[in-house]
Amino acid sequence: MGIIVVVLVAFGVLQWFHIAAGNFLNWVIGGASFWWLLVIVTVPWNVHFQAKEVLAEAAESIKKNIPVDEKQIKYVSILAKGALWWAIGLHLMSIIALYILAATEISAVRYISSGAALLLTLLLPAISIYEYSYARLRMICQAFTYPREGILELRNRFY
């Protein structure tokens, strides 16, 4: 919602000062493309890698003989796979929609949107992989610093 307001205000200010800024349709398509690529396409990648992180934590717990709910592991595993397919599907849908936009020559923003889509197709998964790798490294470091067995023993002493 905030992106839409910013786009409309920017367009209005440029029009107010009589600065050539294209037509309103270009701004709407550009703002919608940016919002779609930034928000809608990003969420499934974040969910996928967060689920992978949870599965890694569960695997570590299982390795240390800490009980884990198998139903939850199954749910998270299904969620990870589903989010991956959603992410890939949304990228493909975005590419097709932007190709149609470029082929029909509806807007001058078509090339910029297509370039942004291609860039974000590579950039979003790369950012998510980086965040996932960072979280895994943090989890490994924490396991070295505070072993799960020690935490369980300490917790059992006080409860």
- The model's pLDDT over 76-101, given as tens digits with 9 standing for 90+, comes to 999 999 999 998 898 888 878 877 87
Residue 37 DSSP one-character state: I
Across the chain, mean pLDDT equals 80
For residue 155, the one-letter residue type is R
The reported pLDDT for the residue numbered 48 is 92
Q: How many Cβ atoms from other residues are within 10 Å of residue 6's Cβ?
A: 12
| Mean pLDDT for the stretch of residues 134-144 | 79
**What integer pLDDT is reported at residue 74 of this predicted model?**
95
d(CA 140, CA 126): 21
- 111 occurs within a structural domain: yes
By residue count, the chain amounts to 159
55 within a domain of the structure (yes/no): yes
Whether 89 is in a domain gets the answer yes
pTM of the predicted model, to two decimals? 0.67
Between 70 and 118, residue with greater pLDDT: 70
Which residues neighbour 88 within 8 Å (Cβ) at sequence distance 6 or greater?
A: none
Domain that holds residue 60: 23-158
Amino acid present at 20: A
The distance in angstroms from the start CA to the end CA of the chain is 48
The Cα–Cα gap between 134 and 130 comes to: 6
Residue of 153, 152, 154 lying closest to 61 (CA atoms): 152
The answer to whether 116 and 101 are in contact (CB under 8 A) is no
5 in a domain, yes or no? Answer: no
pLDDT at position 75: 94
Number of domains composing the chain: 1
> Who has greater pLDDT, 36 or 79?
79
In a domain, 2, yes or no: no
Contact (CB, 8 A) for 101 and 110: yes
In b/e form, how buried is each residue of 31-66, taking b as 16+ CB within 10 angstroms?
A: bebbebbeeebbebbbbbbbbbbbeebbeeeeeeee
Within a domain: residue 3? no
Diameter of the chain measured on Cα atoms: 73
In a domain, 108, yes or no: yes
Q: Which of 15-19, 50-54, 143-147 has the lowest mean pLDDT?
A: 143-147
